[in-house]
């Protein structure tokens, strides 16, 4: 059988590992090469369900390393690329932006150049709704919304999107960009809102809510995002952008209260802390295009998926205890102490 040879970058992170586990659990027409630098956010434990599969290999390496990327394309005859690799956390991009531009911009450029040379059949750039900036109380982001990124993180992702689309326009590289809203689910690194609040609540620690807690994010379960990426991989049109979202707008404070309620912890654990500089007020995504043109739609109800996620963190304490007992402690102290 002819395999689809797919290079997945950043496949040891939250979304990438869920994607690999999802794809390998149901398809045997793919061969996956996972190239990941294993930064603080990369964790091979996430890939336990896939590591023994014959159609899967892991390579530890940096997407900014031209020579290595060339070697990987050549050795595995890569024909499909899905670029998840990124520095992904807004707060870290405020603490230090350089690595964001190095990985998210230069790294994407290295992959695009290699993809040109090796004439890949598809290059999926995994992006975010944060490239559109912040919304007022009304309206939704569509694919035509002008880019207006506000954080070093989102500006680096917007730069990568534009670069990828320019390679489509100028060189005819078969590029597709997907822009998804905020994900949640198993294996999400505890720096992000939902796992951070679940873990702090379990540990009876304060829950640091930025500003007034009324910022709105549009949440999607990671498996729905992954199903959308699979749809785009199989049926997406080259040169196009697809927004991905599940229409679950929630205020941060309501998410935090839901988590406390489910864990039967008191609301007195909530602590309002100094706001994030440049904090985007509201994100909300219109995914009409991917629904009407490619037939994807989300299948997980928000309440069920968040309860499942909370249960996952309850049952997988050893996974996150190892994380929060290491370098994470220093990060947490820097960001949250005396805030
Ligand atoms: P993550 O931080 O959990 O994982 C990122 C992975 O990339 C890690 O495994 C890390 O080791 C790897 N990586 C980082 N720098 C690398 C480099 N130079 N070379 C090779 N590997 C490197 O991130 P995530 O939440 O899984 O996000 C994955 C992608 O999806 C990112 O591109 C992000 O911008 C995008 N995205 C995320 C969300 C979200 O809610 N988390 C929403 C929309 C889009
Ligand atoms: P986050 O998970 O960092 O995603 P993003 O900023 O990329 O949307 O944050 C989600 C929302 O939660 C955002 O409005 C910031 C807020 N937040 C807090 O209030 N406290 C926290 O400790 C964190 C990490 C986030």
Question: pLDDT value at position 138?
Answer: 97
Residue 255, φ and ψ in degrees, nearest 5? -65, -45
Name residue 285's beta-bridge partners. 141
pTM: 0.98
Buried b (16+ CB within 10 A) or exposed e, 107-146: bbbbbbbbbeebebebbbbbbbbbbbbbbeeeebbebebe
Question: pLDDT value at position 339?
Answer: 83
Question: pLDDT value at position 126?
Answer: 99
Name residue 44's beta-bridge partners. none
Instruction: Indicate the fold that domain 4-188+220-250+282-301 takes in CATH.
Output: Rossmann fold (3.40.50)
> Ligand 2 pocket check: which of 252, 254, 277, 331 to mutate, most ligand atoms within 8 Å of Cβ?
252
Nearest alpha-carbon partner for 206 in 214, 196, 216 = 196
Annotated active-site positions, please?
A: 129-130, 153
Under a CB-based contact definition with an 8 Å cutoff, are residues 87 and 154 in contact? Answer: no
- State the closest ligand 2 atom to the C-alpha of 213, by its place in the atom list counted from 1: 19
Q: How many other C-beta atoms can be found within 10 angstroms of the C-beta atom of residue 67?
A: 9
Under a CB-based contact definition with an 8 Å cutoff, are residues 251 and 281 in contact? Answer: no
Query: How much is the average pLDDT of 283-306?
Result: 98
CA of residue 59 to ligand 1 center, whole Å = 16
Cβ of 42 closer than 6 Å to ligand 2, yes or no, is no
Under a CB-based contact definition with an 8 Å cutoff, are residues 132 and 143 in contact? Answer: no
User: Helix, strand, or coil here: 162?
Assistant: helix
> Does pLDDT of 47 surpass 90?
yes
CA of residue 294 to ligand 1 center, whole Å = 25
Ligand nearest to the CA of 215: 2
> Does pLDDT of 2 surpass 90?
no
pLDDT one-digit tens code per residue, 245-262: 999 999 999 999 999 999
- State the closest ligand 1 atom to the C-alpha of 182, by its place in the atom list counted from 1: 40
Ligand nearest to the CA of 102: 1
> Does pLDDT of 266 surpass 90?
yes
Half-sphere exposure of 327 (CA within 13 A, CB side): 4
C-alpha span between 311 and 174 (Å, rounded) = 40
| Ramachandran quadrant class, 77 (left: phi over 0; alpha: psi -120 to 50; beta: rest) | left
Cβ of 215 closer than 6 Å to ligand 2, yes or no, is yes
Residue 141 gets which letter from DSSP?
A: B
> Does pLDDT of 46 surpass 80?
yes
Ligand nearest to the CA of 282: 2
CA of residue 317 to ligand 2 center, whole Å = 22
Classify strands 56-60 and 175-180 as parallel, antiparallel or unpaired: unpaired
Cβ of 312 closer than 6 Å to ligand 2, yes or no, is no
Residue with CA at minimum distance from ligand 2 atom 22: 208
Question: pLDDT value at position 3?
Answer: 85
CA of residue 264 to ligand 1 center, whole Å = 32
> Does pLDDT of 89 surpass 70?
yes
128 sits in which H/E element = strand 122-128
**Residue 277: partners with Cβ closer than 8 Å, 6 or more residues away:** 94
pLDDT one-digit tens code per residue, 310-339: 999 999 999 999 999 999 999 999 999 988
C-alpha span between 217 and 251 (Å, rounded) = 7
Question: pLDDT value at position 93?
Answer: 98
Residue with tokens 């822009």: 179
CA of residue 136 to ligand 2 center, whole Å = 18
Residue with CA at minimum distance from ligand 1 atom 12: 10
C-alpha span between 175 and 249 (Å, rounded) = 29
**Residue 237: partners with Cβ closer than 8 Å, 6 or more residues away:** 176, 293
- Domain ranges, ordered by start, for the chain: 4-188+220-250+282-301
Q: 70: buried, middle or exposed (CB in 10 Å: 19+, 13-18, 0-12)?
A: middle
Cβ of 252 closer than 6 Å to ligand 2, yes or no, is yes
Instruction: Tell me how far apart the terminal alpha carbons of the chain are, to the nearest angstrom.
Output: 57
> Does pLDDT of 8 surpass 70?
yes
């Amino acid at each position: 059988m002819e395999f689809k040879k797919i290079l997945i970058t950043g496949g040891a992170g939250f979304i990438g590992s869920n994607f690999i586990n999802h794809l390998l659990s149901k398809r045997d027409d793919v061969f996956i090469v996972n190239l990941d630098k294993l930064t603080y956010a990369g964790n091979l434990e996430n890939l336990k369900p896939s590591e023994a599969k014959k159609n899967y290999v892991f390579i530890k390496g940096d997407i900014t390393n031209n020579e290595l990327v060339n070697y990987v394309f050549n050795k595995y005859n890569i024909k499909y690329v899905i670029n998840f690799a990124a520095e992904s956390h807004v707060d870290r991009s405020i603490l230090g932006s350089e690595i964001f531009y190095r990985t998210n911009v230069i790294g994407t450029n290295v992959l695009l150049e290699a993809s040109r040379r090796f004439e890949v059949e598809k290059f999926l750039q995994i992006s975010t709704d944060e490239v559109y900036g912040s919304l007022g109380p009304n309206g939704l982001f569509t694919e035509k919304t002008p880019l207006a990124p506000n954080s070093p993180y989102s500006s680096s992702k917007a730069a990568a999107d534009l670069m990828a689309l320019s390679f489509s326009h100028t060189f005819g590289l078969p590029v597709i960009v997907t822009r998804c809203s905020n994900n949640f689910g198993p294996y999400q690194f505890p720096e992000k809102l939902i796992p951070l609040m679940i873990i702090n609540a379990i540990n009876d620690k304060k829950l640091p809510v930025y500003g007034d807690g009324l910022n709105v994010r549009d949440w999607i379960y990671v498996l729905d995002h992954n199903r959308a990426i699979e749809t785009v991989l199989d049926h997406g049109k080259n040169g196009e952008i697809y927004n991905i979202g599940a229409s679950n707008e929630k205020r941060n404070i309501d998410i935090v209260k839901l988590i406390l309620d489910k864990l039967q912890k008191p609301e007195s654990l909530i602590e309002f802390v100094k706001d994030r500089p440049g904090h985007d007020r509201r994100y909300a995504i219109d995914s009409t295009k991917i629904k009407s043109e490619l037939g994807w739609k989300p299948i997980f109800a928000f309440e069920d998926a968040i309860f499942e996620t909370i249960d996952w963190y309850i049952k997988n304490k050893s996974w996150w205890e190892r994380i929060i007992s290491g370098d994470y402690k220093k990060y947490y102290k820097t960001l949250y102490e005396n805030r």
